[in-house]
Structure 1
């Protein structure tokens, strides 16, 4: 059991805590999370508390069965022969946290906007060469199911962006749920699709030696490897980067890490989910934002 009490903290911080704890009374939160999540949430409190105060009580292996943490300057947590106690101080310790007046907030916003402008200018002048790729398949088993579409978006060092999209003919019947999800039918593959061999050759030519980025890309890698083997062609030798672990590292408090959830967090619109080209476009934009905020280096 974990109990957190807050005083005069920003509303955004209170909103963060409600994802993990129940607010049983104004500014009193109760929950039961792992020690790792508890510590991460306390770090978030410390970073976003402003001039407010916070105290946390949680289970611990000591005589009392619980431990304290607090930011209050009129109390200090002391250890008395292994027993944690909250000692009231006659004179408050610590320094007042400045920088939360309207003027300070305005100045901070100007600085952040300037940094953002510099970052955008830098990203525009130094374009990163990379290619984002996505597949649609008849199912989830790379040894049995088949690729039905390939989408890719690449950027060269000069900033030029090119797109690749192929429907791939397949022998396997497309399940009804896949048709509903992707809007790809057997008739479309027959009339507009190319053979797997031709599609993979065209993809290799499009990719060149660029670094490939994808989201949860292990799935796509397995399908591509099996498909190249099936048609007797050499597998891709490109460097491949999966963006999911990078997002998990930089955004620890997302509700989940499905692509649509992550895109929403980064304000990226994907108008046609489960369309391989549209998903590749969205993945490319996500990679660009991760590069801008320093989470991804190519």
Structure 2
């Protein structure tokens, strides 16, 4: 059975910003998608990140500092629950869909380290990791297409509905459906066995990072460094 017709679990975070080393989780969703592409189960979290939510982040996801403090769960226990939920799904062999996994999974990694929580990779106990990243796959399958490659742009290109962008559940579901659609469109990824797809993305992400780094060094910053690790940037 091809990965594009099997069950998936999708994961998305909304955060206080874009720096994986310092920013915090505000909302999270872990959503099970059945073989028909429908939601079969979902878990969501609203966290009090322990820091103020900047106005620019609030403008994107709609969660204010006051709302998070009044209704959010303490960050430490919530991060533990999120990580446990992801580990349970990955240990079952279900692929995990994460748009721009390098960001979401790395930020979750730093949150675990911040609160002394066992890391997702440690919880897997050497089991094979099967992450599907629509951003990496789209760049690999269609490298010369012009235009943006945000989740909204990918949904428009592949004909996937995204009605409530930057809602963690909506984004997670849309990412899974976009991944299925691009796998159906591009045999170069859709025909790859799930067991091999993860390693394909490790190589593709490194190639994409090297290409971007080369471009930046030629055009704007001779010392630019673009991280090549995927799906988690190692903590240094």
Counterparts of 1:167-182 in structure 2, within 5 Å, are 167-182=46-61
The structural deviation recorded for 1:182 is 0.8
Q: Indicate the residue corresponding to 1:165 in structure 2.
A: 44
Q: Indicate the residue corresponding to 1:146 in structure 2.
A: 24
Q: Indicate the residue corresponding to 1:217 in structure 2.
A: 101
Q: Indicate the residue corresponding to 1:191 in structure 2.
A: 70
Once the two structures are superposed, residues 53-73 of structure 1 have per-residue CA deviations (whole angstroms, 9 ceiling, x without a partner) of: xxxxxxxxxxxxxxxxxxxxx
Check if 1:274 corresponds to 2:166.
yes
The structural deviation recorded for 1:160 is 6.8
Relative contact order, higher structure (CA 8 A, sep 6+) = 2
Are residues 183 and 265 of structure 1, via their aligned partners in 2, closer, same or farther at CA, if it must alter by over 3 Å? same
Once the two structures are superposed, residues 44-95 of structure 1 have per-residue CA deviations (whole angstroms, 9 ceiling, x without a partner) of: xxxxxxxxxxxxxxxxxxxxxxxxxxxxxxxxxxxxxxxxxxxxxxxxxxxx
CA RMSD of aligned residues (A): 2.6
Q: What are structure 1's unaligned runs of at least 5 residues?
A: 1-121
Within 1, Cα distance between the matches of 2:55 and 2:131? 32
- Secondary structure of 2:118's partner? coil
Counterparts of 1:1-298 in structure 2, within 5 Å, are 127-155=5-33, 161-207=40-86, 208=88, 209=90, 210-237=94-121, 238-251=129-142, 252-293=144-185, 294=187, 295-296=189-190, 297-298=193-194
The number of residue pairs the alignment matches comes to 176
Matched-pair contact (CA < 8 Å) for 2:33–2:173: no
Within 1, Cα distance between the matches of 2:33 and 2:155? 20
The structural deviation recorded for 1:138 is 0.8
Instruction: Decide which structure has greater helix share.
Output: 2
TM superposition score normalised by structure 2: 0.66
Matched-pair contact (CA < 8 Å) for 1:152–1:281: no
Instruction: Answer with 1 or 2: which has the greater Rg.
Output: 1
Matched-pair contact (CA < 8 Å) for 2:50–2:75: no
- Secondary structure of 1:168's partner? strand
Once the two structures are superposed, residues 91-126 of structure 1 have per-residue CA deviations (whole angstroms, 9 ceiling, x without a partner) of: xxxxxxxxxxxxxxxxxxxxxxxxxxxxxxx88xx9
The structural deviation recorded for 1:285 is 0.9
The structural deviation recorded for 1:175 is 0.8
Matched-pair contact (CA < 8 Å) for 1:213–1:241: yes
TM superposition score normalised by structure 1: 0.53
Are residues 282 and 157 of structure 1, via their aligned partners in 2, closer, same or farther at CA, if it must alter by over 3 Å? closer
Once the two structures are superposed, residues 5-49 of structure 1 have per-residue CA deviations (whole angstroms, 9 ceiling, x without a partner) of: xxxxxxxxxxxxxxxxxxxxxxxxxxxxxxxxxxxxxxxxxxxxx
